[in-house]
C-alpha cells in the first residue's frame, strides 16, 4: 500500500517569515511515520525557506503552487519548472480549481504544464473536479474524465508519477465536503480512467480535497480508494495541520 499523502496548499498565505515560524512549531511536534508523507505547497517566495527547514527530514517535501510550461521567456510574474526546482521544489500543483476558475487556466494549459513538470523532474499533482452546477446536472464523471484526458499519450511510467487530487469545486472553502463514500466513488473512476491510459493501477494515487479538517480527515482516509488529502485553509495553522497529519484511518 502506498503511503498516505497529506498535502497542504497554503494558497496566498505564509510568506518567508511566517513560513519559518509555522515550521518551527510543526517540526517541533511532528513525528515521522512510514505510512504517510507530508507535502507543502507554498507561495513561490516561501519555497526556499520551507525547503531549507525540511531538508533531510524524512517523508516531507515542498512543492510549487503553479508553474509555467515554458522554460524561460517574457512571462512576467511566472515561475518556470527549473526555477521552482532550484528553489527546492520537488513537486507542483497543476490545474487547481482557483487556477482554472479565477485565472482561466484551460485543460490545454494543464496538459502542457504536466509535461513540462515531468521533463523538469517535478512530480505534477493534477487537480480535477466539478462545479456545483455541473454536479447538479449529473456531469461530475464527464468533467473529471475530460480533465484527466490531458494525460493521454504519456507513457505508463510517466502516468505513475502523477498523483491526482479530486477537489469538487463546490466543497472548497465552503465548509461542505463530499461524503467519504461519494469521494471514493469518483476516485474509483479516476483509477479506471488512468488504467485505461496505461497507468499501473497500484501506482495511481488519488487524493481528496475540499473543506478537509481535523474532524473529518480520519473518515476520509479510511476509504481504501482515498490515498490522502489536499488541504487548504486547515493547513496554514500549525496546530490544525499537526492534528490532520497525525490522523489515523478510522
Active-site residue among 37, 98, 105, 167?
167
Q: Determine whether 96 is an active site residue.
A: yes
Backbone angles phi, psi at 40, to 5 degrees: -115, 120
End-to-end CA distance of the chain: 17
- Which of 39, 36, 44, 40 is closest to 85 using CA atoms? 44
Contact 160, 125 (CB under 8 A): no
Q: How many Cβ atoms are within 10 Å of 182's Cβ, its own excluded?
A: 16
Contact 118, 91 (CB under 8 A): no
Cell numbers given for 17: 517569515
Q: Determine whether 167 is an active site residue.
A: yes
- Cα separations (Å) of 163 from 29, 67, 145, 240, 248? 27, 16, 15, 24, 21
Active-site residue among 66, 68, 96, 187?
96
Residue 169 is classified by DSSP as G
CA distance 66 to 89: 11
Catalytic positions, written as ranges: 96, 167
Amino acid at each position: 500500500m502506498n503511503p498516505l499523502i497529506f498535502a497542504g496548499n497554503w494558497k496566498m498565505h505564509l510568506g518567508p517569515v511566517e513560513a519559518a515560524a509555522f515550521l518551527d512549531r510543526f517540526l517541533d511536534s511532528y513525528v515521522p511515520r512510514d505510512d504517510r508523507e507530508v507535502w507543502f505547497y507554498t507561495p513561490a517566495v516561501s519555497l526556499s525557506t520551507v525547503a531549507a527547514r525540511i531538508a533531510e527530514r524524512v517523508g516531507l517535501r515542498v512543492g510549487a503552487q503553479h508553474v509555467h510550461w515554458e522554460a524561460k521567456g517574457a512571462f512576467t510574474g511566472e515561475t518556470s519548472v527549473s526555477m521552482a526546482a532550484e528553489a527546492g521544489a520537488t513537486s507542483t500543483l497543476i490545474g487547481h480549481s482557483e487556477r482554472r476558475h479565477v485565472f482561466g487556466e484551460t485543460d490545454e494549459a494543464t496538459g502542457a504544464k504536466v509535461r513540462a513538470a515531468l521533463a523538469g523532474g517535478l512530480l505534477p499533482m493534477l487537480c480535477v473536479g466539478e462545479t456545483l452546477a455541473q454536479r447538479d446536472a449529473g456531469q461530475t464523471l464527464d468533467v473529471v474524465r475530460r480533465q484527466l484526458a490531458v494525460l493521454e499519450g504519456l507513457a505508463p511510467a510517466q502516468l505513475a508519477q502523477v498523483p491526482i487530487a479530486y477537489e469538487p469545486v463546490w466543497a472548497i472553502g465552503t465548509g461542505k465536503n463530499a461524503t467519504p463514500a461519494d469521494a471514493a466513488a469518483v476516485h474509483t473512476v479516476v483509477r479506471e480512467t488512468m488504467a485505461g491510459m496505461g497507468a499501473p493501477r497500484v501506482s495511481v494515487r488519488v487524493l481528496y480535497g475540499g473543506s478537509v479538517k481535523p474532524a473529518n480527515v480520519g473518515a476520509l482516509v479510511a476509504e481504501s480508494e482515498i490515498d490522502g488529502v489536499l488541504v487548504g485553509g486547515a493547513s496554514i495553522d500549525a496546530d490544525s495541520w499537526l492534528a490532520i497529519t497525525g490522523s489515523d484511518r478510522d
